[in-house]
Each structure stands twice: as C-alpha cells, then as structure tokens.
C-alpha cells in the first residue's frame, strides 16, 4: 500500500535546502508522499522536522530545490499561494484557533471567505465536522473556553472544512496534557482510515504504529532513516535512531 | 463666571469648531493610521518602505509646520482651494495618523504569529489575514494608547488657532479684543477641555476596553 512505484506523488520534495543564516536546517531533502499515504516524521528537537513540515505549505520558504503538490511547483507569495494553501490543511502544535471568533466561526471562516460558500452551507458543514471530532456542542463558545484537546480537535475540523488534499500536522499533541492526547490521536487515526493523505510530525509511537504507512527519522536536517513503523521501532538501522528511540522509550 | 456668560458666543463657536476639527481629524487619522500600519507589516517591501518614510517624516515634523504648510503653502500649489478649517483638519489628520499607525502596529505585534499563520494556512491572502484576523485582535490591545493619541489630538486642535481657525485656542485672542480679563477666560477654556476628556473620551475608552476584553 505504500508508495506504489507508478502512482504519481501528491507531495514531492526534490533536493530541498534551507538555512537559518549559518544553520543548515534542511540538507538536500528528497521525499515523496503518495496519495492516501500517512507519513510520520520523527526526530530529536532541532532536527528540522517541523521546518520540513512547514515548507510544504510555504509557511517556511526554501533556499534551493523544489516542492511540488500534484506536480505543481509551490507558487511564490500571493493569490496563487493562498489558493494552494487552501488545499493543504495544517494543524499546529499551539492550535492557533482564531481567539476572537467562536468555534463555529473558526471552522466556517475558510469556506466562506476563501471558497465563497454560503453561510448556511458553511454552518452545516462546520457543525457536521465539529460533530465528527466530538465538539459539536461547543460551537458557540470561544476557543479559550475549551480544553487543549478540544481546541486541537476544532483545529482539525477547521482544516478539514477546506476539503484539503493533504493535511500537515506539526507536533499536534506536544502542547497537550497527557490525558488529552488520545482524544486528538483518535481523530487522526480516523482520518487516516478514511484515506486522508497526512504528513505528521510527532513522537507518538502509538499513532505511528496504528496509522502510519511509513516513518522517516530526521537528525541534523537530514533524513537519516526511512522504514515501516514496525521496522523502525523494533529494528532501527542507524545509531542515531537507536539512540533517539532509547531516549523516548525510557522517558515514556 | 461672568467671562463665560458674557461671551458665550465666543465659547460656543470656539468649542463647536474644536469639536468639528477633532471629530473629522480623529476619523481620518484612524482610517489612514490603520492603512499605514497595514502597509508597515505588508509582505511587499515597497509598501513597508512607503509606510516607514511617511511615519518618520510626518511624525518628526512639528505640528505647527504641518499646519502652516496647509494654511499658507498649499494654496500656492494651484490645487483645489480649501478653507482654513479644512486645511487644519487635513494637517491634523496626516499628523495624528502617524501616531495612530504606531499604536496599531504595536498592537499587531501583540497578536501571536500563530494567528496569522493559521489564517494563511486556510488560504486567506494577506489583506484578509490582516483585516479579519490580526487587526480585530490588535485593536483590543491598543485602546489605551489610541485614546492617548486622541486626547493629544483634541488638545492639538488648539494649534490651528494660529492659522486663522476660530476654535477654542483662539478664544483668548477674541476675549482680549473685547477687553475681558484673560486669566479667568483661559481657565474656563482649560476647564472645558478637562470636562471633554474626562466626560467623553475617558468613558468611551473604558466602554471599549470592557466591550472588547478578550478571553485568551
């Protein structure tokens, strides 16, 4: 099911390099994500995994190389890029729900303003999505009135409302209290089962095992190892990966 | 007490014009200041540069010179002529807009970058990210500095007296023409300004702060 050789890649990164002044954060990254694939990106902090994730909708620019989505190069800043971003859902570590808008408005804003959907239709869509992620009864509240886990599920609903071709998750559970992590992961597992193409930066091995088709391990801006979740967690090939796994396993 | 009752015509007309100057200038300064603040956070370097040059140039020019330009220099440019009140309103708007812009820009900086990233991530272009997500949140945190700017504007209107506008700052000159005692006259003018600030602007500020208090 992973990456059939002839299927065109939905997301493709070719020889991508990025520097933060002297720091070389992404070193010659080559990566393909097939339609329907769930890719988990794992690695120590500072390895460039979040940066990698954010380059895919150009929240981070790259210095050299190319990133294509459905064969089309990411456009430069402007209307074109905005249109492309509408097709690439993003879920952030810190949720980033619009603080001055209700839960419902958070989800309907994109469909109404970007897609020109009628408000009644957008409300209906939003309510069904909020229902799906289990926060339908919170629609009239403001983000600050919800728990972190609930906010992150709303953020997923907000991204889904744009009917994205691919969803990016940038450490979606790292800012959550432990008891709230599973409610978010459950939603993500459901999404994966429904065939959503996903790039997920996470340390949640449970999620990787349950839902991922492939794991890439990054260190120092490079993809060091690439494997199925089972192989990666039980039989890592590189010392970097072995070292990293021993740390996250002992730290629980 | 006699000064104000005997010369109520001066006080009424004077403060009426002060009010007109203030409302018009505050309105345009708010709009222009918001636009300039938007330019200064724009992704387009030319917009940022234009905003920066405008703010630094106008903010660093004494208000008296700006009003002098619109009262004395502008009519010589051969552009459509404006009366002294309108000229003063234009000068005050342009001047105050720079302070409004800086207050709003500081508010924009208080809105976490995640808010605009999330807006861009769902496909909102820069203008909508700014007007729908960033500015509404920025305004909430700049109510106090913005009102300081407007209180300063209210008092700055008196500078227009030097450029043939009959507003509160000009009352003294007219009183002196009528041979009235000046000190009580000036005290009355000062007192009315205090009443305007404490009676109108401060309650309005408090109301907006309460209304826009946001749960974070």
Give the residue from chain A lying closest to B132, CA to CA: A109
Q: What's the mean pLDDT when you consider all of chain B?
A: 91
Count the alpha carbons within 13 Å of A138 in the hemisphere toward its beta carbon. 23
Q: Are B123 and A89 a contacting pair at CB < 8 A?
A: no
Q: What is the pLDDT of residue A1?
A: 46
Domain of residue A242 covers 9-250
Question: Between the CA of residue A136 and those of A116, B13, B171, what are the distances in Å?
Answer: 23, 59, 63
Q: What pTM was computed for the model?
A: 0.87
Gyration radius of chain A's alpha carbons: 18
Beta-bridged to residue A20, according to DSSP, are A23
**Residue A64, strand partner residues:** A17
Question: Which residues have CB under 8 Å from B116's CB, separation 6+?
Answer: B129, B130, B133, B134
Structure tokens at A35: 């339609």
Looking at residue B82, what is its pLDDT?
83
Q: Per the domain annotation, does A3 fall within a domain?
A: no
The percentage of chain B sitting over the pLDDT mark of 90, rounded to a whole number, equals 67
Q: What is the pLDDT of residue A249?
A: 73
Report the distance separating Cα B137 and Cα A249, nearest Å.
Answer: 42
For chain B, list residues whose CB is within 8 angstroms of any CB belonging to chain A: 43, 112, 114-115, 117-125, 128, 132-133, 136-137, 140, 214-216
Question: Is the separation of the CB atoms in B158 and B21 below 8 Å?
Answer: no
Out of B117, B122, B132, closest to residue A158 by CB: B122
Query: Which residues partner with B39 through β-bridges?
Result: none
Residues of chain A below pLDDT 70: 1-7, 250-252
Q: Give CA–CA dist B2/B202, Å, rounded.
A: 29
Q: Do A88 and B137 touch (CB under 8 A)?
A: no
**Probe site for chain B from A100, A110, A169 (most B CB atoms < 10 A):** A100
Contact B122 A57 (CB under 8 A): no
* pLDDT, position B72: 86
Q: Output the pLDDT for position B1.
A: 64
Structure tokens at A81: 């890029």
What integer pLDDT is reported at residue A252 of this predicted model? 47
- Alpha helices (runs of H) in A78-118, residue ranges in sequence order: 79-86, 103-113
Q: Give the pLDDT confidence score for residue B43 in this predicted structure.
A: 87
DSSP-derived secondary structure for B169-200: GGHHHHHHHTT--HHHHHHHHHHHHHHHIIII
CATH number at residue A39: 3.40.50.300
Domain count, chain A: 1
Rg from Cα positions in chain B:
20
Q: How far is B165 from B147, CA to CA, in rounded Å?
A: 24
- Please give the pLDDT value at position B214: 64
Average pLDDT over residues B205-212: 89
Retrieve residue B182's tokens: 């000046």
> ipTM score of the complex?
0.90
Q: What is the pLDDT of residue A67?
A: 94
Query: Does residue B153 contact residue B97 with C-beta atoms inside 8 Å?
Result: no
Integer distance in angstroms from the first to the last C-alpha of chain B? 51
Edge-to-edge strands, sheet with A222-227 = A88-91, A166-170, A197-201, A38-42, A214-219, A222-227
Q: How far is CA A238 from CA A37, A212, A213, B61, B101, in A?
A: 24, 20, 20, 65, 55
Architecture of the domain delimited by B16-168: Orthogonal Bundle (1.10)
Comparison of pLDDT for B174 and B150, the residue scoring more? B150
From CA A3, how far away is CA A33, in angstroms rounded? Answer: 7
Tell whether A53 lies on the interface with B, counting CB pairs under 8 A: no
Residue B94 has pLDDT above 80, yes or no: yes
Q: In terms of C-beta distances under 8 Å and separation of at least 24 residues, what long-range contacts does B131-139 make, across chains too?
A: B132/A109, B132/A113, B133/A98, B134/B41, B134/B108, B135/B34, B135/B38, B135/B104, B135/B108, B136/A100, B137/A99, B137/A100, B137/B107, B137/B110, B137/B111, B137/B214, B138/B104, B138/B107, B138/B108, B138/B110, B138/B111, B139/B104, B139/B107, B139/B212
């Amino acid at each position: 099911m992973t990456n059939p050789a002839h299927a065109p890649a939905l997301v493709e990164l070719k020889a991508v390099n990025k520097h933060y002044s002297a720091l070389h954060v992404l070193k010659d990254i080559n990566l393909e994500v097939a339609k329907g694939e769930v890719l988990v990106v794992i690695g120590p902090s500072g390895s460039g995994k979040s940066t990698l994730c954010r380059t895919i909708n150009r929240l981070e620019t790259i210095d050299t190389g190319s990133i294509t989505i459905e064969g089309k190069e990411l456009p430069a800043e402007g209307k074109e890029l905005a249109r492309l971003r509408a097709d690439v859902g993003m879920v952030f570590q810190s949720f980033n729900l619009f603080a001055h808008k209700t839960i419902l408005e958070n989800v309907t804003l994109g469909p109404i303003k970007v897609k020109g959907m009628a408000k009644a239709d957008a409300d209906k869509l939003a309510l069904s999505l909020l229902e799906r992620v289990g926060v339908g009864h919170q629609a009239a509240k403001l983000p600050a009135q919800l728990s972190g886990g609930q906010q992150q599920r709303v953020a997923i609903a907000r991204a889904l409302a744009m009917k994205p071709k691919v969803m990016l998750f940038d450490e979606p559970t790292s800012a959550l209290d432990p008891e709230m992590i599973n409610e978010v992961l459950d939603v993500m597992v459901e999404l994966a089962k429904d065939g959503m193409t996903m790039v997920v930066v996470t340390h949640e091995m449970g999620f990787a095992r349950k839902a991922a088709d492939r794991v890439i391990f990054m260190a120092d801006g490079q993809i060091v190892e690439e494997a199925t979740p089972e192989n990666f967690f039980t039989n890592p090939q590189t010392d970097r990966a072995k070292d990293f796994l021993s740390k996250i396993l002992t730290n629980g | 007490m006699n000064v104000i009752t005997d010369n109520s015509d001066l006080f009424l007309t004077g403060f009426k014009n002060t009010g007109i100057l203030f409302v018009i200038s505050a309105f345009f300064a708010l709009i222009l200041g918001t636009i300039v603040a938007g330019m200064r956070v724009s992704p387009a370097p030319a917009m940022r540069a234009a905003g920066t040059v405008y703010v630094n140039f106008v903010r660093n020019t004494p208000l008296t010179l700006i009003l002098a330009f619109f009262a004395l220099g502008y009519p010589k440019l051969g552009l459509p002529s404006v009366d002294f009140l309108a000229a003063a309103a234009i000068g005050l708007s342009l001047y105050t807009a720079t302070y409004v812009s800086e207050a709003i820009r500081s508010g924009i900086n208080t809105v976490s970058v995640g808010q605009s990233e999330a807006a861009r991530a769902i496909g909102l272009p820069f203008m909508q990210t700014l007007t729908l997500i960033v500015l509404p949140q920025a305004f909430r945190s700049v109510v106090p500095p913005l009102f300081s700017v407007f209180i300063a504007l209210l008092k700055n209107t008196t500078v227009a007296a030097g450029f043939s506008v009959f507003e509160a700052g000009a009352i003294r000159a007219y009183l002196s023409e009528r041979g009235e005692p000046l000190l009580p006259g000036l005290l009355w003018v000062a007192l009315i300004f205090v009443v305007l600030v404490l009676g109108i602007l401060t309650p309005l500020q408090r109301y907006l702060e309460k209304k826009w208090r946001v749960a974070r």
